[in-house]
Chains A and B, each alone.
Chain A
């Protein structure tokens, strides 16, 4: 319980600041290609093999979705689903692929970033302003690159 409180003390302000930065960067020239900062934070905060209890990832996904809905017109449901499915995908892939290979880590990151991208696409499609596929692909590749660097062996994940 005490461990969770310590995490939240860091993660709440960091997630809010990252949301503000994401909005600011997204609306700069070329900003639409950048990855979702919340997803990167989620991958950093929750270990790929899964958290010790289910409560923390559940609440953190809820929190990130709520924060994200402050900077986007998308319904929070799409953010929650995207984040939750990303965690599930990454967890399943982590069990089957070695994280000692940079290429496999890259592939794992890219595949894990696909569900949130699809959810954003679905949400934007329903609003009548679909996100272009090339933007979504580049965002997934960004997440893959960052994840392959972040999860390299010898580095301990935050969670």
Chain B
């Protein structure tokens, strides 16, 4: 093809411009598959360089990369405190003819009012089973897969639940309708024979499908209150409810028949890690990089029950994570007091769960710094997170 020198120059500039624009577009709106491919492309060179860095750092700062120290300044906190609290608060009252299956929650979808459980047919769960947390009604299982089940919360938009409005002198039947976690559920129907008052206790009402043993139990749902403007005729009965904080972690499912175990433990893929390397060649922060001894997907780094950080990059066996101070986890942490009570300003922080982070791992004491890499590090990924 014949091109004038000027045309040739313009063609080259246009090609370079297009190439750079495409690159900038990918940088601003990253595509996971492209990023993965590019990292895979440079992996041999990058690995060679990072092995050299590791060796140099080991010579220059032998203490920084050691993992055998001890965190003497950290007060001793039980790494299973959240689990213990959830079990203490969430275990429902025993009833003959009912076995309570303890099932961890994998994911909470607040918008849709759904809980995804980390167990399914493998744990003998079935659609329609009642789900509770302690003496609180949570909802019912609506869908069961092999290793997963979905619970529809009674507060989820459009969910209708039969309730009893309990006062000193009378019990009135009613039906509620959920409006999502942000709005109070409304009472849509009240038995015409009753005349409830504000402050009445709202309790779950069994259906014909529920076992007789379950019908005898009381599960609280909140308190009745009047909302809206009575003068304008827009007053409605609503329910003041509070979702139990522990139910984000585990719930109990009523079952008549059970499998081998009453507790469904979440499955993890784990891999041991080498010594972490502190720092980053470009960024400024508590970055750590570490090599996995075996190639496996990794979401978080853990050691001795304490979460060290979230894996933000994985390139083959190499992982990068940002060591965060416990308070830096923000809303992704759940706070407990030292006495083991859920409290917004509690000192002891645990991972809340969700977005790939498993729940219930100790993050540390609120005012402490980033975790010190004590003990043997390992990477974890919940089985449900692996596609």
Contacts and interface: CB of A to CB of B under 8 A. Distances in A.
B279 A27 contact: yes
A132 B52 CA distance: 28
A78 B27 contact: yes
A72 B282 contact: yes
B280 interface: yes
Given A24-B60, A54-B12, A84-B23, A131 B30 contact: no
A135 B42 contact: no
B231 interface: no
A13 to B, nearest CB: 11
A128 B56 CA distance: 28
B14 interface: no
Given A65-B42, A81-B27, A71 B283 contact: no
B240 interface: no
Nearest to B34: A77
Interface string A53-82: 010000000010111111111111110110
B285 interface: yes
A23 B45 contact: no
A44 interface: no
Contact residues on A (Cβ < 8 Å of other chain), bracket: 35 or more
Given A20-B56, A73-B320, A129-B322, A26 B30 contact: no
B45 A128 contact: no
Interface string B270-307: 00000000111111110101000000000000000000
Contact of A127 (B24, B27, B53, B312): B312
B1 interface: no
Contact of A16 (B16, B27, B52): B52
B147 interface: no
Given A26-B281, A131-B283, 6 more contacts: A20-B56, A23-B280, A69-B46, A70-B49, A70-B53, A126-B30
Contacts of A67: 45-46, 49
A65 B285 CA distance: 21
Nearest to A17: B52
B156 to A, nearest CB: 31
B282 A71 contact: yes
A73 B313 contact: yes
A122 interface: yes
Contacts of B34: 77
Interface residues of B, number: 41
A132 B284 contact: yes
B129 to A, nearest CB: 39
Contacts of A88: 16, 20
Interface string B41-58: 110011111101100110
A17 to B, nearest CB: 9
B283 A81 contact: no
B209 interface: no
B39 interface: yes
B33 interface: no
29 contacts: A19-B281, A20-B49, A20-B53, A23-B57, A24-B57, A26-B281, A27-B280, A66-B46, A69-B39, A69-B42, A69-B45, A70-B53, A71-B281, A72-B283, A73-B289, A73-B312, A73-B313, A75-B38, A75-B313, A77-B27, A77-B30, A81-B20, A84-B23, A85-B20, A88-B20, A119-B27, A127-B283, A129-B287, A131-B284
A123 B39 contact: no
Nearest to A31: B279
B54 to A, nearest CB: 10
A111 interface: no
B80 interface: no
Contacts of B313: 73, 75, 127
Nearest to B283: A124
A90 to B, nearest CB: 14
B28 interface: yes
Which of A22, A72, A81 neighbours the largest number of chain B CB atoms within 10 Å of its CB?
A: A72
Nearest to A81: B23
A81 B16 CA distance: 12
A94 to B, nearest CB: 15
A119 to B, nearest CB: 7
A129 B283 contact: yes
A71 B27 contact: no
A120 B282 CA distance: 8
Contacts of A104: none
Contacts of B287: 73, 129
Nearest to B42: A66
Contacts of B95: none
B26 interface: yes
Contacts of B53: 19-20, 23-24, 70-71
Contacts of B337: none
B35 interface: yes
Nearest to A135: B284
